Amino acid sequence: MKITGITTTVVNAIHRNWVFVKVQTDQPGLHGWGEATLEWKTRAVCGAVEDLAPFVIGEDPRRIEHVYAKMTRFSFWPLGAIGLSAVSAIDQALWDIKAKDLGVPVWQLLGGQVRDRVRVYTHLRRAKIGAQVGTEDIGAFCDAVQETVEMGYNAVKLGFVPYCGHEADLRDILHVEKAAHAVRERVGPDVAIMTDFHGRPASVEAARAFIEVIAPIRPLFVEEPIQPGNAAAMADLSRRVSCPLATGERLFTPREFAELAELRAVTHVQPDLSHCGGLTGGRRIAAIAEAGQMGIAPHNPMGPVAGTVALHFDVATPNFLIQEEAVGLVPWFDEIFDHPMRLQDGCWTIPGGPGLGIEINEAAAARHPFEQEIVPALDAVLPDGTIANW
C-alpha cells in the first residue's frame, strides 16, 4: 500500500479556520483524516502540509513510526507549532488508514479499551459563537453556567481572570472571588469546575493572588496560570497554592513535558493532539505523564476530527482525566461531519467502527470556505496601553 496524495480542506468556523488533512492511498476508497487547526495560522499550516508531502508520498501509510520519523527528522529545522500541527494531522490520518485497513477502531491499535466512557467538559454555552456572557454581571454569568450544565454536562471550564500584567489589581481579585463562589453555590458540589487563566498573569505572584481566591471552590484544575515554557516557575507556583494546576496546550515535544514531570510542576498536562505530533507524539507524552504521576486532560477547542482523535486516545490512555470538547461550536457542526462523539451522562460513548469513524462531506464543507478569522485577542490591552497576554 502506498500514499498517493495529501490534500487540505479549510472550513471557516468564525474564530478559527478548521484545517482538515486527507491522506489518500492507492487502495480504492481507503483514505484517512486528520486535523491541523492552528488558530490564525491557517495559510502557514496549509503550506507546511504541502512542504511535508514529498517526505510522505510513496510511503506505506501503515509504517506510522517510519513516516513520523521522516517528517520530523528529515526536516532538519525544529518544526515548531506550525510544522508540528501539519505533522500531527498527517499522523492522525495514518492511524485512521491503518485501523480501517485492519477493520478495527483506532483505540484498538493504541493498546485497547481501558475505560467504558470518556468524561468530557465544555465551555460556557458550549462556546457557541455570539452566546458568551462575561463575568461583569455575576447573576447572568451564573445563569449561563447553569444553562450549560442543563445541556447534559457535569463539568465546565470558565474564564474568571481578566487581562492583567505583573500585578493583580485588588478590585479584580475581589470580583473573581465573588464570581467563583457564586458559580459554585449555583451548581453545587456535583459539577466539576475548571478555570483557564490563558497565561494572562505575567508573574507567579499575580497568578497566585487569583488562585488563592478561587481555590476554596475546589476547581478540578487551574489551567495555564502563567505563560507556558517555564517549568521552574510553574513548579514554584505549584508549591505555593492549594489546588491542582494544569498546562500543556502550547507545549509540543516530549522533552517539554518531561521537564514538567521532572519538576513535578503541575498535576495534569494538556497536550493537544493536533499540535504535539498527533497520536504518535501524544502516546509518548502520556507515558511521560504517567511516570510523573500526572493526569492527561487533552486540549481540544477545535473541529470534529480533532475531537474524534482525542476520543480514541482517551479510550486507551490509562492516566486520562477529562476531555475538552467543542461540539456545537457553530450551529452547522453536525451537518457536514459524520462523527462518533455522542454525549451521554456527561461522557462520550465508546466508538466501535473501523478507523476514527469520521467522514467529512467535502461538498458541504465547501459551503464554509476560508475567511479571515475574527481575532478576539486584538482587544487584549491593559489600561495603560500595554499589550496583554490573551
Domain ranges (residues) in the chain: 3-105, 108-354
- 278 or 327, which is more confident: 278
What fold, for 3-105?
A: Enolase-like; domain 1 (3.30.390)
- In this prediction, residues 138-162 reach a mean pLDDT of 96
**Residue 168 one-letter amino acid:** A
pLDDT of 144 reads 95
Q: Which segments of the chain does DSSP mark as H helices, in order?
A: 42-56, 64-73, 80-102, 106-109, 138-149, 170-187, 204-214, 231-240, 254-263, 278-291, 304-315, 362-365
H or E element that contains 122 = strand 118-123
Three-state DSSP class for residue 292: coil
| 114 CB neighbour count, 10 Å cutoff | 14
Which residues fall within 8 angstroms of residue 388, CB to CB, at 6 or more apart?
163, 164, 165, 200, 380, 381, 382
pLDDT surpasses 80 at 377? no
d(CA 296, CA 298): 6
The per-residue pLDDT for range 223-240, each reduced to its tens digit, is 999 999 999 999 999 999
Here the cell at position 342 is 455522542
Residues annotated catalytic, as ranges: 198, 299
**Residue 178 one-letter amino acid:** K
The per-residue pLDDT for range 324-366, each reduced to its tens digit, is 998 878 888 888 888 999 999 999 999 999 999 999 999 989 9
pLDDT surpasses 90 at 130? no
pLDDT of 310 reads 98
Q: In this structure, what DSSP letter does residue 58 have?
A: T
Q: How far is CA 274 from the centre of its chain?
A: 8
The per-residue pLDDT for range 238-248, each reduced to its tens digit, is 999 999 999 99
Residue 52 contacts residue 239 (beta carbons within 8 Å): no
pLDDT of 380 reads 85
CATH code given to domain 108-354: 3.20.20.120
Which residues fall within 8 angstroms of residue 110, CB to CB, at 6 or more apart?
279, 283, 312, 313, 315, 316, 317
d(CA 207, CA 240): 10
